[in-house]
Structures are given as C-alpha cells and as structure tokens.
Amino acid sequence: MVNRFAKLAILAASLMSGAALAQTPPTGQPHAWGIDFQAPATNKMADIESFHVMLLYIIVAVSVFVLILLIWVMVRYNRRANPVPSKTTHNTLIEVVWTVVPVAILVVIAIPSFKLLYANERIPADIELTIKAIGKQWYWTYEYPDNGNFTFDANMLSDEAAAAAGQPRLLAVDNFVVVPEDTKVRLIVTADAVIHAWTVPAFGVKIDAVPGRLNELWFEVPEPGIYYGQCSELCGARHAFMPIGVKVVTKEDYAAWVASQQAAAGIAPAEQTAALR
Ligand SMILES: [Cu+2]
C-alpha cells in the first residue's frame, strides 16, 4: 500500500515538475497544464482578467456563506436538536438585509462590467488601421483597405507543416494577419454563407462573423508577438480547423510587409493612406 502511494507521489511530482520545467509558457496560445486565461496581450484583456478575479472572490465568498448557513441549519435545527420548531414567519430586519445585500453586490459587479462593455463596444475615434476579416468555409480571408486593399487567405497548416514552421498544431496558419505594435486597429468582421466568430483570447476580443452584416472590434497590442485564436461559432464540418493567427510587428516591419504585399498584388505604394505612411 505504502509502495503504491509512493509511486503515485512520484508520478504526481514528475508531472508537476514537468509542467514547471516546460519553459516559460508561450504567449498568445494555450499551453500544457494551463488552467487560467492566456497571458493578456492588451489592456482590455488585463481588465477582463482582473474583473474575472474579482468575480471569483465574490462567488467564493457567497458560496462559502451559503454553505455555512446550510450546515448551521442542518446541525442546529434538525428534528433531534430542535424538536419544537419556531412558528416565526417574518423578520423584517432579515428580509431587508437579504434584499439589500444582494442588490449591493450586483451594483458592485455592474460598475466594472459596464465599463468593460463600453470599452469593447465603442470603437475609439483615433483608429489608425482598419482591416477586414471574412469568415469562409473553412478559412479566413483578410483585406487591408487602408493599404491599397490587398487581400489574402489564411488556411490552417497540416500537422507536419506546423511542426516544420515551429507553430502550434491546429492553430498554425499559412498567412498571419499582420498588424503594427502600439496601433489602434479596427477589425471589420463578416462572413460568407454561414456564421463564424473571430477571436484572439489574449486580446480579449471575440465577435460573430455574420453573412450580410458588418461587425467590428478593436484592439491595440503594445508588444510584438504571435497570437492565436480559433473560429468560435459552430460553422460546419471543419469549424475546428480554421485558426486565426495574428502577428504583431514593429511599425518598420509592418511597412516592409505592406510593401511586399503590395508588390505581390501589383498595387502602387501611393495608394497607401496617409495615416500609415
Ligand atoms: Cu467558422
């Protein structure tokens, strides 16, 4: 018996140390043994995460309080401990308290919640770059109207190609959405044929891509990096295989990438909008 426990302990320890050893988890993608959100890449996601943590404290406190009340009632007022029950039906003070306290808790939750909703819904007036994403069956097409309207498709890489490219399996893409760092980017999202959803968890953005309708979201990423997401609306047979890859680069690298895309598409550089030159 002792031997079995020892084996279990060793197994658990090796699993945990394996998780700890697995180099600093890569940003912008899920990692083994991850149980929380991905590291936030935008202020918006950092705010969402702190709201989530605040809710967690409130939920735990409410659950523990209710559990204690239940245990107290079961122990103190069961048939043996309290053979003659009280006939009390009303207690004004308690009734006021159990109405006012939950309302106060909801108000405390509502304030940061509405702030977040507002920050997400309202596209800032000083947007610097607009990109369009079109969900298709089953890949994404991107358009860069501010840069001469070049366009490309982003398809998932096969397992072998992903491994060769050093990208995560099932998230790897052949073409990244490239955006400059420290730039307010608006993404206009729509779809062809069926509903998809565009999301990057590390950015704290997710929005439905609906045929015949333009939805929009915005994000601003301070750090260059690669960030992944997946179509998040059941859209058909290959729903799980239309990942989203965003590459955030320096402004100089962005200009060079735009120039190469324009050259490939035969677009004169002059067509680029003033905002980004
Ligand atoms: Cu989809």
Q: What is the band of 277 on the pLDDT scale with cuts at 50, 70, 90? A: very low
Antiparallel, parallel or unpaired: β 129-136 and 139-144: antiparallel
Are 174 and 226 part of one and the same domain? yes
Are 76 and 137 part of one and the same domain? no
pLDDT at 19 over 90: no
Gap from CA of 254 to ligand 1 centroid (Å): 27
Residue 211 sits in a domain of what CATH number? 2.60.40.420
Residue 138 belongs to some domain of the structure: yes
Residue 98 belongs to some domain of the structure: yes
Are 72 and 188 part of one and the same domain? no
For residues 162 and 169, the answer to whether their CB atoms sit within 8 Å is yes
- In this prediction the pTM is 0.81
Q: What is the band of 268 on the pLDDT scale with cuts at 50, 70, 90? A: confident
Kindly report, residue by residue over 169-222, the tens digit of the pLDDT: 999 999 999 999 999 999 999 999 999 999 999 999 999 999 999 999 999 999
Gap from CA of 75 to ligand 1 centroid (Å): 53
Residue 156 belongs to some domain of the structure: yes
Gap from CA of 152 to ligand 1 centroid (Å): 17
pLDDT at 1 over 50: no
Domains in the chain, number: 2
Are 205 and 113 part of one and the same domain? no
Gap from CA of 142 to ligand 1 centroid (Å): 14
Residue 20 belongs to some domain of the structure: no
Residue at token pair 């409130």: 58
Are 99 and 158 part of one and the same domain? no
What would the two tokens of residue 175 be? 């073409």
Are 117 and 133 part of one and the same domain? no
Q: Which of 233, 129, 231, 108 is nearest to 183 (CA)?
A: 129
DSSP tag of 157: P
Gap from CA of 235 to ligand 1 centroid (Å): 4
Residue 48 belongs to what domain range? 43-82+89-121
